Structure 1
Amino acid sequence: MQLILISGLSGSGKSVTLRALEDSGYYCVDNLPATMLTEALNLYADFGYDHIAISVDTRSGPSLGALPDEMRKLREKGADVRLLFLESQEDTLVKRFSETRRRHPLSSPGLTVKECITLERELLADIQELGTRIDTSDMSANTLRNWVKTLVEADTGRLTLVIQSFGFKHGVPLDADFVFDVRCLPNPYYDRELRPLTGHDQPIIEFFLKCPDVAEMIDDIDSIVGKWLPRFNQEGRSYLTVAIGCTGGQHRSVYIARTLAERYAGKRVLVRHRQLDSLP
């Protein structure tokens, strides 16, 4: 049986994620107390369901603290249990609650939305370390749906290396394990002909191929990732996210992320370009 648990901050896209998994053939349950996981899975197994997705978050109250132990018990019984933890930058969450006019699940007299978000982060602090973190700050609903489907289709028997480009001016990704700053490298943005292009375009590729510093930076990042990748694998991690950042997330970080991914072509690699993916 495969169980995908969905947790994270309110407003970060848990409902979108659950619907994406339902569209992929999972039997989905929203807001189940963690203490009922084993009982629920036994029931679903009797009905022939073998792909289950369950949302477990702060709405469950005190039972949320039982989640780590429940996950361990289910794995000991042979279940393939994975956790997707969704989060977003505070200003993004505040904007989403303002636009939808929804009440925060932890709202109470005297608490602002920002204070509710801070409280929820504290309550979920231990949970976020149990699985794969997804920063949805710059994701559209459609991008999130596609990204979730890609993640859950990954081979659970091997560590998946996620290489992500981003722009520092849009904030550092919350889900990164390693962050590399490549803003010190030559920037094609200052060439008017190259400015509208991206790190995928041949003129940009040729621009960077002429820069020894770019090749040296890629070698150094490759050396660090290659050295520590086996250690993360030994610890049973399912995903390792390496974020490459430049100013806008359009040229340098995109080129380096895709070039680095090519070096790990024999491994399980997923590539995401945060700023390019967020474009309409």
Structure 2
Amino acid sequence: MRLIVVSGQSGAGKSVALRVLEDLGYYCVDNLPVTLLSAFVSSIKDSNQNVAVSIDIRNLPEEPTLVSDALDQIKASNDIDVDVLFLDADKTTLLKRYSETRRIHPLSLSSEKLSLDQAIELEKTLLSPLIEQANLVLDSSNQTLYELSETVRLKIEGKEKQDLIMVFQSFGFKYGLPSDADYVFDVRFLPNPHWEPALRPMTGLDAPIHSFLEKHKEVIELKQQIQGFVEQWLPMLEKNNRSYLTVAIGCTGGKHRSVYLTQKIGEYFSELGHQVQIRHASLEKNQ
């Protein structure tokens, strides 16, 4: 089990870091009181679920040593790998971000009614014990949202980008369009095995359907064109910080033509080494 404690200055990008960790499969908890940290980790450590917990000025105890004590107690367990990720930014960047978002700094809500400049300085002082605990420190100054996301991913995973998961899904137009598709291809114009009585009960996963469709050059041409389209734009889609790319291919009933093409195209990208999921929505619906 891996525990990542996410902390840092307000406005430095903690929420971005938590979203990245969630995309990486971490169970994320924002604003958990430090006094509950040990009990929370103990309650889930048998699940082997990686966890990320945010500790910042909102839930920081008055006694700074409580944070160190809680982390030391968790680190003492041989079953848990603990990292502390601290996000920082220079004052100019933080002032600019607060000005752009028009949000109020948490410390400006206190009875002292601190100015934004004063709140940033005080927060830096209060968080100093946490930055001393941090083994992963990230300065988000002058980084865009996408750059920050990629930097967090690099810090956590030790690689420059998360592999994009490619989802290829067949469907039948008579059941409606899939709501989560990034690209939809209509293949209803292709020759239809449905009109061959011997082929009608079969699906696009069966060899006789393959033989029927592959006799038609337009089927092969369309398969190659869809593969080429996805292949051409895939590098740019990967750079766009996406977690998923969903390509939906539809025929009338989602049983023959779309199933064949979806399966073949999905297998093509899988053989190239991409992370691929293949789904046949209408077949699953009618099972």
Question: Where on the TM-score scale, by shorter chain, does this alignment land: which range?
Answer: 0.5 to 0.7
The SS at the match of 1:41 is helix
Shift, 1:35, TM fit: 1.6
**Contact 2:61–2:67, Cα closer than 8 Å, also in 1:** no
**What corresponds to 1:122 in structure 2?**
125
Deviations 1:247-279 (A, max 9, x none): xxxxxxxxxxxxxxxxxxxxxxxxxxxxxxxxx
Corresponding residue number in structure 2 for 1:111: 114
1:149 to partner: Cα distance:
1.2
Cα offset, 1:50, TM superposition: 2.0
Distance 2:36 2:14 in 1: 19
Aligned pairs (5 A) from 1:31-46: 31-46=31-46
The yes-or-no answer on 1:153 pairing with 2:157 is yes
Moved over 3 A (4+): none
Q: 1:94 touches 1:114 (CA, 8 Å); kept in 2?
A: yes
Q: Distance in 1 between matches of 2:69 and 2:9?
A: 21
Equivalent positions of 1:243-254 (< 5 A) are none
Query: How far off its partner does 1:61 sit?
Result: 3.6
Aligned partner of residue 107 in structure 2, secondary structure: coil
Percent identity between the two aligned chains? 42
CA–CA distance in structure 2, aligned partners of residues 61 and 41 of structure 1: 18
**In 1, Cα distance between equivalents of 2:141 and 2:63:** 24
Contact 2:5 2:83 in 1 (8 A): yes
* C-alpha deviation, 1:154, in angstroms: 3.6
**Separation in 2 of the partners of 1:62 and 1:34?**
7
Residue 141 of structure 2 is matched in structure 1 by: 137
SS state at 1:59 partner: coil
In structure 1, the residue matched to 2:271 is none
Q: Distance in 1 between matches of 2:154 and 2:116?
A: 32
- Unaligned 5+ runs, structure 2: 160-287
* Aligned-pair Cα RMSD in Å: 1.7
Cα distance 1:130–1:61, how it changes in 2: closer, same or farther (>3 A)? closer
Whether the aligned pair in 2 keeps the contact of 1:6 and 1:54 (CA below 8 Å) is yes
Alignment match, 2:82: 81
- Structure 1 stretches lacking a partner, 5+ long: 156-280
Mapped partners of 1:103, 1:5: distance in 2: 24
**1:63, CA displacement in angstroms?**
5.7
Q: Distance in 2 between matches of 1:18 and 1:49?
A: 19
1:95 deviates by 0.9
After superposing the two structures, state which structure 1 stretch, 104-113 or 18-27, moved more: 104-113
Higher gyration radius (CA): 2
Equivalence for 2:277? none
The one-letter code of the counterpart of 1:6 is V
Q: Counterpart of 1:95 in structure 2: which amino acid?
A: K
| Distance (Å, rounded) in 2 between the aligned partners of 1:34 and 1:146 | 28
Q: CA deviation at 1:45?
A: 2.8
* SS of match in other structure, 1:3: strand
Partner of 2:70: 70
- TM-score (normalised: structure 2): 0.51
Q: Partners of 1:90 and 1:9 in 2: how far apart?
A: 10
Letter in 2 for 1:92: T
User: Which structure 2 residues correspond to residues 190-205 of structure 1 after superposition, within 5 A?
Assistant: none
SS of corresponding position for 2:31: coil
CA distance in 2 between partners of 1:55 and 1:77 (Å): 20
TM-score calculated relative to the size of structure 1? 0.52
Q: Indicate the residue corresponding to 1:233 in structure 2.
A: none
What is the Cα deviation at residue 64 of structure 1? 6.8
Map of 1:127-276 to 2, 5 A cutoff?
Answer: 127-131=130-134, 132-154=136-158
In structure 1, C-alpha distance between the alignment counterparts of 2:48 and 2:77, rounded to whole Å:
16
Q: 1:142 to 1:133 in 2, by over 3 A?
A: same
